[in-house]
Structure 1
Amino acid sequence: MTFKKVDEDMNILFLTLSKMEDIRQRGIYTDLVRELSSRGVNVYIVSPRQKRENLPTELSKEGNIKVLKVKTGNITATKSFIEKGISTLMIEYQYLKAIKDNFKDIKFDMIMYSTPPITFNKIIKYYKKHHNSKTYLILKDIFPQNAVDIGLMKKDGILYNMFRKKEISLYNNSDFIGCMSYGNLDYILQHNNYVTKNKLEIFPNAIEPIEKKQKTSKDKQILDKYKIPEDTTLFVYGGNLGKPQGIDFVIKIVDEFYKVENGHLLIVGSGTEFNKINTHIENSKPLGVSIFERLPKEEYDKLIGCADVGLIFLDYRFTIPNFPSRLTSYMENSLPILAATDKNTDIKDVLLESKSGLWCESTDENKFIKHAQKLSSEKELRENMGLSGRKYLEDNYDIRKTVDILLNHLLEGDAQNV
């Protein structure tokens, strides 16, 4: 398969809240940046260094990738919604100043930015006006409605109205909006009648897939280290443990997991709700359940290599169609997926279409446990679902294909047909 390349100097400015200390690490944004770089694009990344890290603003370079790490307030894993809000509002001023200071002689052909946050409007407008830059929004988060759904913000309150105006401005200032799924795309059209359909396209969570591994046996050494029995069916949840995950439901699953014969539940993550679930596990000491807040990436990857099932949790109250990037990690490792989410996400449709997993609403712990029992007892089913998921990833979530979407706009300026 032939992919597009850039023959002349072209510059993309990428604004993100993701930590970009090492662009060689694997992830949806680092993989995207490296692939753009390999096609000849000069990529200028702006990412945060949060206050708690106590590090200065710093510019680093690797080939045709420059990473500007800007000192900001604390914007993730904060216990104070007020602190997070103020830091988020300040970030566009901090970013714009740092960009002007460090990239003042660079003309940007495209400004690319992901949500969260929705507060990059001043930067986007500045470069549209002064550089005639194309603007591309990678929509990973529909805010402020997601905060309303889970009770973090009041609909039509002062905060909501302020952020909603910024959201509308962001969509208006974006030449193109890349949506994770058709559910996302349809939601934007239905709830924002000022957005034209030709501005929207599918830009899925995508990665550079690692070589397909043939799993023969589990790594006994890493399992022993974390006291996980080698002969169990290992169910793994890895990722954020916050309000969006619906932690009360996860706690119900923890309490009921003893019913999954030969199953072991491993939870690895951090976030605002970690202490709640960790305290519950420490007090109730459920059978066949382990939890860790943070693990070295190398060791987490080894545990994923031992996993038999990947788990996804989302709060049942969401009206917006979230689409967790965790899905690609599980598919990459040929893991069947068990997802408990709201009814509105179309992740359930992807699991059905790809034949890669099972789904239930995150109010039905009995159905979840029945699905877990089925997956625990049927090895052939797990293997077939895992292989189907891996093929679906290669066909639909390969970063090389999504980079072609960007280069189509960069080189031709033609909107993609939805």
Structure 2
Amino acid sequence: MNVLFLTIAKINSLGDSGIYTDLLREFYKDGHNVYIVCPTERREKKKTYLVKETEGVILNIRTLNIQKTNIIEKGFGTLAIENQFLSGVKKFFSEIKFDLVIYSTPPITFSKVISFIKKRDGAYSYLLLKDIFPQNAIDMRMIKKGSFLHKFFMKKERKLYEISDTIGCMSQANKNFILTHNPNVSPEKVEVNPNSIFPIEMEEIEEERISLKKVYGLPLNKKIFVYGGNLGKPQGIDFLLETIETTKREDVFFLIIGSGTEYNRIKKWFESTHPKNAMLMKGLPKEQYEKLLRACDVGMLFLHKDFTIPNFPSRLLSYLQIKLPVLAATDPNTDVGSIIESAGCGYWTISGNQESMHTTIDKFCKDSKKYMEMKENAWRLLVKEFHVRHSFQLIKNRLKNV
């Protein structure tokens, strides 16, 4: 079987670990041919190029900057990428008949490419829904409700759902949201297919933790609460900074690692406030970042309090992989907090409620036995609910029923 995967995520190699590469390697291990189309953004200063690896072929299409850039270029880039991807598929994969096309949101503007593949090859189409747009932009006040842009993107969204044979949602709350707000979508074509990876259990070595703390200048005698990932408006950065400023415990230290549209604002805040209980670090390469996580004690998830859509941050998996208990500060619509609490591997609080936040931080510090139990439960949750083999099997089962 020939499998085509479309994404705006940058995929350098199928040998890398991640929610998409881990899934695609499962197809390769199952005997299928894997083809990927992803962007090489303008800032990389490269032309469209092809990479052939043992596990598959990666077509890097030259695009505008579409991630971590200003909203104008991001908008034009998102609109243009559909035709750019379609041209690339026609030029480089003209002789290949695809049996399955998988694609992720964002963006929602892949309809033309998917329709072409389905019509030409009779391929089965599977959407991995990682972002509910344009409602998330409405929530963040990036697009005005009822505006021309809103109506335009809603039309694109409906078309994408319509041509998708199956829609895989990140959680039950995601699935419920899609079915509630899209009555034209058949419930039979929607299922829960969460963010997933191939779990690799790592040995905890105390000497390594101490060494890493010394290298990065982290305190040796405090519990490190780490936030790693995108630093943008969707993360509700104001609440994160407010938490740092109002936390008075002497045994707690906050580490923020990442990049994004809000990074410079956070940097200015650090430079003017000089918090003694926190450190800001520019985003690190994936391998280096995941190694540094081993020196930390609690992983933090932040989502803006105004979200009406149920986001489900993929960085949760990085925390679970190294057995980090999780503190989630989110809007009330996502189910990520209830999932970690039900699994006994962390605590959830509503974003914006500072009193509850401090109570939640205290819980991680006062009971060492409970804390160790949460570490083991984190690993169990990852293996049970977010193993990539499960995601792969869901897609394969859909193909069996065609």
Q: TM-score, normalised by structure 1?
A: 0.94
Contact 2:338 2:348 in 1 (8 A): no
Alpha carbons of structure 1 residues 84 and 175: separation in structure 2 relative to 1, 3 Å? same
Asked if residue 75 in structure 1 is aligned to residue 66 in structure 2, the reply is yes
Partner of residue 115, structure 1 = 105
How far 1:376 moved relative to its partner? Answer: 2.5
Instruction: Map residues 3-402 of structure 1 onto 2, 5 A cutoff.
Output: 10-79=1-70, 81-257=71-247, 259-402=248-391
Query: 1:212 deviation in Å?
Result: 4.0
Which shifted more, 60-69 or 304-313?
60-69
Q: How much has 1:187 moved relative to structure 2?
A: 0.3
Q: Is the 8 A contact 1:58 1:70 kept in 2?
A: yes
Amino acid at match of 1:367: S
Partner in structure 2 of residue 413 of structure 1: 401
Q: CA contact under 8 A between 1:261 and 1:376: conserved in structure 2?
A: no
Cα distance in 1 between the residues matched to 2:99 and 2:177: 29
Cα separation, partners in 2 of 1:46 and 1:28, compared to 1, 3 Å: same
1:169 aligned counterpart, secondary structure: helix
Q: Does structure 2 conserve the Cα–Cα contact (< 8 Å) formed by 1:311 and 1:337?
A: yes
For 2:63 and 2:163, how far apart are their aligned partners in 1? 24
Rounded to whole Å, the distance in 1 between the matches of 2:366 and 2:43 is 45
Indicate the SS of the match to 2:28: helix
Three-state SS of the structure 1 residue aligned to 2:299 is strand
275-284 or 367-376, which deviates more: 367-376
Query: Which residues of structure 2 form unaligned runs of 5+?
Result: none
Answer yes or no: is the 8 Å Cα contact 2:25–2:55 preserved in 1: no
Amino acid at match of 2:177: Y
Give distance in 2, aligned partners of 1:180 and 1:308: 26
For the residue of structure 1 that corresponds to 2:132, the secondary structure is coil
Consecutive aligned runs of 4 or more in structure 1 exceeding 3 Å deviation: 214-218
Please tell me whether the aligned partners of residues 229 and 283 of structure 2 are also in contact (alpha carbons under 8 angstroms).
no
Bigger mean CA offset, 292-301 vs 10-19: 292-301
Aligned match of 1:7 = none
Counterpart secondary structure, 2:294: helix
Gaps of 5+ in 1: 1-9
Question: AA paired with 2:239?
Answer: F
Deviates more, 1:239-248 or 1:23-32: 23-32
Q: 1:227 and 1:399 mapped to 2: Cα distance?
A: 35
Q: How many angstroms does 1:64 deviate by?
A: 4.1
Say how many residue pairs are matched.
402
Residue by residue over 1:42-97, the C-alpha shift from the partner in whole angstroms, topping out at 9 and shown as x without a partner, is 11000000001101111111124100011000100012x12111100000111111
In structure 1, what is the Cα distance between the partners aligned to 2:327 and 2:168? 26
Could you tell me which amino acid in structure 2 is paired with residue 338 of structure 1? L
Change in Cα spacing, 1:209 to 1:301, as seen in structure 2 (3 Å) is same
The alignment yields a C-alpha RMSD, in angstroms, of 1.2
Paired amino acid for 1:119: T
Partner deviation per Cα, 1:99-140 (whole Å, 9 max, x = no partner): 111111000001100000000000111111111111000000
Q: 1:200-232 deviations in whole A, cap 9, x for unaligned?
A: 011011000112423444433321222101221
C-alpha displacement of 1:297 = 3.1
The aligned amino acid for 1:25 is D
Shift of 1:323: 0.6
SS at match of 1:59: strand
* Aligned partner letter, 2:268: T
Report the TM-score when normalising by structure 2: 0.97
2:213 partner letter: L
Distance 1:33 1:125 in 2: 22
Whichever residue aligns with residue 67 of structure 2, its letter is: T
**Post-superposition offset of 1:247:** 1.1
Query: What secondary structure is seen at the aligned counterpart in 2 of 1:306?
Result: coil
Counterpart secondary structure, 1:113: strand
